């Protein structure tokens, strides 16, 4: 997997997923594996565009679930070809949504994979409908736990805060990503 700084990657085509992806939990894993399948079918690179730190860590001082180096190791094991790491800070935000969309255009995504609640831009104004005006967007159904509740980084942070460590790790589902490579886990 190659890693790239903001505005440094151009591609003739790709399959793209964008997100904070803190924790790379079961929901994120499902999203990336759906995108990966499409990328392999189309024989184009799979690109992940992520933020460091995650916006909720920056704005709300939320607990960080995965430091960047661990996130990159796990993304590589999931079969991601390129990861773009955007420093999430005041300077990035002054660039605004237009610059962000322009950067995505340079990647020529054939399809962008997101969950239904993906947001972007100032004050989280942009959503999948906004993104869909510029690109083809495929929406993944919310991935839930066995009790039927949607999995999210926020929920996992809350479980850790409540001392429900086993439950939190169950939703993170890290064992296959930390101990084996994806090809050997097949």
Encoded one letter per residue, x for contact with ligand FMN by CB under 6 A and - for no contact, window 107-126 reads -----------xxxxxxx--
Tell which residue, 175, 143, 184, has the closest CA to residue 74. 175
To ligand ATP, the closest distance from the beta carbon of 184 in angstroms equals 26
To ligand FMN, the closest distance from the beta carbon of 64 in angstroms equals 14
Q: Residue 97, interface with ligand FMN (CB under 6 A)?
A: yes
To ligand ATP, the closest distance from the beta carbon of 158 in angstroms equals 9
For residues 25 and 77, which CB has a smaller minimum distance to ligand ATP in the complex?
A: 25
Question: Quick check: helix, strand or coil at residue 161?
Answer: helix
Tell which residue, 19, 18, 27, has the closest CA to residue 171. 27
Question: Quick check: helix, strand or coil at residue 34?
Answer: helix
Encoded one letter per residue, x for contact with ligand ATP by CB under 6 A and - for no contact, window 15-44 reads ----xxxx----xx--x-------------
To ligand FMN, the closest distance from the beta carbon of 56 in angstroms equals 7
Q: Residue 51, interface with ligand ATP (CB under 6 A)?
A: no
Spell out where the chain has E strands. Answer: 2-5, 14-19, 46-52, 82-87, 109-115, 137-140
State phi, psi for 112 to the nearest 5 degrees. -115, 130
Size, binding site for ligand FMN by CB under 6 A: 16
State phi, psi for 164 to the nearest 5 degrees. -90, 70
Q: Is-contact 79 176, C-beta < 8 A?
A: no
Q: Cα–Cα distance between 175 and 89 in angstroms, integer? A: 32
Residue numbers at the binding site for ligand FMN (CB under 6 A): 19-20, 51, 55, 59, 93, 96-97, 100, 118-124
Residue numbers at the binding site for ligand ATP (CB under 6 A): 19-22, 27-28, 31, 56, 114-115, 117-118, 140, 142-143, 150-154
């Amino acid at each position: 997997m190659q890693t790239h700084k903001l505005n440094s990657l151009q591609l003739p085509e790709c399959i793209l997923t964008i997100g904070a992806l803190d924790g790379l939990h079961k929901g994120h894993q499902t999203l990336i594996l759906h995108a990966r399948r499409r990328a392999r079918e189309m024989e184009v690179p799979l690109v992940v565009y992520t933020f460091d730190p995650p916006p909720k860590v920056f704005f709300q001082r939320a607990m960080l679930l995965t430091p960047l180096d661990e996130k990159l190791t796990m993304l590589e094991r999931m079969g991601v070809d390129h990861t773009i790491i955007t420093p999430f800070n005041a300077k990035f935000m002054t660039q605004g949504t237009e610059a962000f969309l322009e950067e995505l255009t340079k990647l020529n995504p054939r399809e962008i994979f997101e969950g239904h609640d993906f947001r972007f831009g100032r004050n989280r104004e942009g959503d999948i409908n906004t993104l869909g005006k510029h690109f083809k967007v495929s929406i993944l159904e919310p991935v839930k736990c066995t009790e039927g509740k949607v999995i999210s980084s926020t929920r996992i942070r809350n479980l850790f805060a409540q001392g429900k460590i086993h439950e939190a790790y169950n939703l993170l589902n890290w064992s296959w990503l930390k101990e084996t490579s994806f090809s050997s886990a097949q």
